[in-house]
Amino acid sequence: MKIAVFGAGSIGVYIGASLLAAGGDVVLIGRARMRQQIASQGVLLSDLEGRRQRFEGEHFPYQESAAALAEADLILVTVKSADSAAAAVSIAEYAKPSALVVSLQNGVGNVETLRSLMRGWQVLAAMVPFNVVQMEGNRFHRASGGELMIETNAGLEPWLTLFRQAHLPLQQCEDFAAVQWGKLLLNLNNAVNALSGLALKSQLSQRAYRRCLALLIEEALGVLRAAGIRPARIARVGPQLLPALLRLPDAIFKRVAASMLKIDLEARSSMWQDLQTGRLTEVDYLNGAIVHLAESLARDAPANRRITALIHAAEQASRQPLSGEALYRSLCA
């Protein structure tokens, strides 16, 4: 019963190493840069509850070649959304058809991409609600809470105990498309956080930035309604109430929405990390997904279109962080 984590960046390393610590037979597959970091520094896992687990690099099961998929019975896909098609081709080439494939990727549409290129394979959608920050010393820190959510499927039964022992319990859901859209609404904040240059808790504690997020979510909800899509509740507050909640004054927000601020001081969005390391972001699959859906309905989503453009500009050249007020003016322009 071997597990392969395909596309092992921050999320992939955290999940793969957690399963390894619980006794799983795991191989992680990713880029040479990460393999070299692990070989020289090892891996240190940490989380909000104070759990710490160190792995020495010498024996850590990290490979660069997709050929390492050959023996896997469970394949966890953690590549960026733009790499989904290439991942599907590699899995179909090297893995055995009996392997269960699970997409643990941001955004919507990744599972459809995998399924379209892997006819006859069993591919499940899943969602990672928590944030992982890669820190100095090759520490992978889980900086927020939440449980993995996944499509209900009988084929998961052999794996449930291991994931639970790895502190990654799988919450099975029937209507997973609604879950994905619900998570995407929350992920609209990734771009706000990346442009703010702040840690997530600091950014969400400032009303000016929350007004930006409220504008993006409100616009997205209008597009989803027009498309007949009802997003699931992922946070403790339903999607329809989020814009009003986010616009509350700081003092009231901190009292009413204290659970939203239960985030480690070190947490930042993956999009912020991508900009810092010069990698392309997933903005086209988050805010851009709202823009594309609106266009398919002959509508516009100007605020999400604008923030997508701002992120693309930041990908091309280093820019100073934007204040909440400046970002809001730009989104409303």
| Segment-wise mean pLDDT, segments of 10 residues, the chain, 333 residues | 93 96 96 92 91 92 95 96 95 96 93 94 93 89 89 95 96 91 95 95 95 98 97 87 95 85 80 89 96 97 98 91 97 92
Q: Is 61 helix (H, G, I), strand (E, B) or coil?
A: coil
Identity (one letter) of the amino acid at 67?
A: A
Same domain as 252, residue 301: yes
Confidence at residue 250, expressed as pLDDT on a 0 to 100 scale: 94
Confidence at residue 214, expressed as pLDDT on a 0 to 100 scale: 98
Q: Domain of residue 120: give its range.
A: 2-174
Same domain as 127, residue 58: yes
Same domain as 197, residue 98: no
Same domain as 193, residue 156: no
CATH number at residue 300: 1.10.1040.10
Same domain as 95, residue 30: yes
Prediction pTM value: 0.89
Confidence at residue 333, expressed as pLDDT on a 0 to 100 scale: 86
Extract the tokens encoding 327. Answer: 């970002």
Q: Where does the chain show beta strands of DSSP type E?
A: 2-6, 25-29, 43-47, 52-55, 62-63, 74-77, 100-103, 122-127, 132-135, 139-142, 148-151, 170-173
Same domain as 106, residue 207: no
Q: Which of 174, 200, 230 finishes a domain? A: 174
Same domain as 142, residue 34: yes
Instruction: Look at residue 183 and tell me if it is in a domain.
Output: no
